[in-house]
Structure 1
Amino acid sequence: MTGIGMEAARALADKVEAFVRDVVAPYERDPRRDAHGGPGEDLILELRDKARAAGVLTPHILPDGSHLTQRETALVLAASGLSPLGPIACNTAAPDEGNMFLLGKVGSAAIRERFLTPLVAGRVRSCFFMTEPAAMQGAGSDPSMMITTCRRDGNHWLVNGHKCFSTGADGAGIGIVMARSEEPGTEGGACMFLVDLPDPAIRITHVPDTIDSSMPGGHCEVAIENLRIPADQMLGNAGEGFIYAQVRLAPARLSHCMRWLGACRRAHEIATDYANRRMGFGKLLIEHEGVGFMLAENMIDLKQAEVMIDWCADVLDAGNPGTVESSMTKVAVSEALMRIADRCVQVMGGTGVTDKTIVEQVFREIRAFRIYDGPTEVHKWSLAKKIRRDWRQSHAS
């Protein structure tokens, strides 16, 4: 990645930040929400029209189709994350941002033209069908357990199975489907396909209520029944789907960290303002050591999160797959941001658990983030296995 340079990236991030603070934040109490609390389609379209007019729609992808470096992206995505609505408005939200990255890296020219172009333009939303129901012992944190299958049928592939936690599937126009191949030579390997949505063969069976509410379309459960996909809508080659998933997941984990860093910066600002205005026991809350120390700890955790994000971004920009580094960063940043969000609620007391500010929403979103894209414990387990492998190699006779 060549990017635009850090100075230009900072200027772009400043532009995004001004847009999110001045234009997007006033919409945070807009009642146009879907049944699960996420922004409704009318609200999304209105915000994206404003972002397009302000020149900050999909700011991480340049007019020629190239992508900012990860280090540059960190500045821009953190700025978009200053409001829970910011990533949706600027078209930097999950799963679209990760899907755009993947299509730009792996998609054929025809796939990029048909599926990536409308995503970058903000005209449609997308979803990623990978996770499967625990009740069926399907793929979750362990993708090798995938039970959704695909088999060749002439010039098409036939897909059958079930998926869950398919974020944004309700209302999406594009889907990426992962399935385990039953074809000889690729048997057991995963395949990825691009599909137009809605499709009658992909049926939403349930949209659960969840702790978070920043993403449109809910976290859907779907049944896939005899879905016929033209062979030229396969992403890459048959049997290599797990490889492509890693192409997407390492940067996607980091992007989550970037966006939620912005949200926690804003929550910290709100808690700091509250503590500097609210009186208690004869003095401002900030002058009470218990409150002041919590805000001081927030400053430390915010800086540590920023440093981890920049370190992982540098690794990815250097061409390293970043699997280990992104796991370390996902754990460190999500746990640090959880501490920050929790302290912000605590500093604000009763006000912190109400909808008078976005602090309580940020707390809920960060709690979910500790699970999404791999729970903390799964990443630690993966890192522990690497420690074991490295030790064995270093002590091999």
Structure 2
Amino acid sequence: MEFLRPSDDPGTAVAQLEEWVAADVAPRLLIETSGSTGRPKRVVLTRDAVLASAHASARRLRDLGAGAGGRWALVLPSSYVAGVQVVVRSLVAGHRPVLGAWADEQGAAAYTSLVPTQLHRLMGSPDDVAALAAMQAVLLGGGPIDPALRRAAEKAGIRVVATYGASETAGGCVYDGVPLDGVGVGLGADGRIRLGGPVVFSGYDGDPELTAQTLADGWYLTSDAGRLDEDGHLVVLGRVDDVVVSGGVNVPLPAVARRLRAHPALEQVEVVGVPDEEWGQVVVACCVDDPDLAPGQLPDLAALRDWVADELPRAWAPRRLVRLDALPLLGNGKIDRQALLTAATAATAGEGVA
């Protein structure tokens, strides 16, 4: 079967996708996932699925009052689905995207798409903040969004739209908890999120077994747990397998991470479960400290355990703490959870449990 694999080079990818969008008959798109929590997968998308996503995104942004059409700035890798969608959305609107910047000789971009780590870093640059604030909207997805980061961005005048989706849904298909037109959202008995509609992928290249496990009657069965709030909006709770059993207690790692991210002395936080002979698994907090604070102003493990226990069960509190200069990232800007787990395991090897 013939596939189009988007290039890692942005200029080449734009040329490929421009021809692909305009072709009478187009091959299927092959997106290799990052493998942030396991082995990479080769996701197959039809042109119809990609275009359905691009058109639905444009309609939703228009409905939100963010304008119709307009150029997009590509600052994500062009071979990943989020980068592909930036290019396709811009092409569908009648423009080639701005590559690696917010503006070029043709003018400024009206939209962009970022992952949370990118926005966190850009918030430290007044010029970048001003450029983002001048846009119609900034789509933010690809991982958990720190509420404090979103508040800071919106206070600076940046119009943030939180997106949820995957390569298997041709990118983000739920905006601020509301599915795009034509997209269905369901929850399994275990809270597992399923997504349906014209944006869903065709399968995994070379892996019919995984395709059968993940694609059922046109629905993509995600690895994420969720719930619907009182307004019917989807709330993503984290990966189904992001619950570790520590000393016989089920600990939802995303909940612990959210609480730790609210600590004023921590700049970034991720939480992992590390194997332990006594406890089965122990919760490890991997933190990047606020660089403006002196070492004596930084919380130790006991203080962070108390911080978590103020709102959550003490049994959920981290039993180990790893301080990092930076969180490991994949090429698309997402957290590399496999590398993080390896680093946490190595850093805590032989340590006693607090």
Higher relative contact order (CA 8 A, sep 6+): 1
Q: TM-score, normalised by structure 2?
A: 0.27
TM-score, normalised to structure 1's length? Answer: 0.25
Name the structure where helix makes up a greater proportion of residues. Answer: 1
Structure (1 or 2) with the greater strand fraction = 2
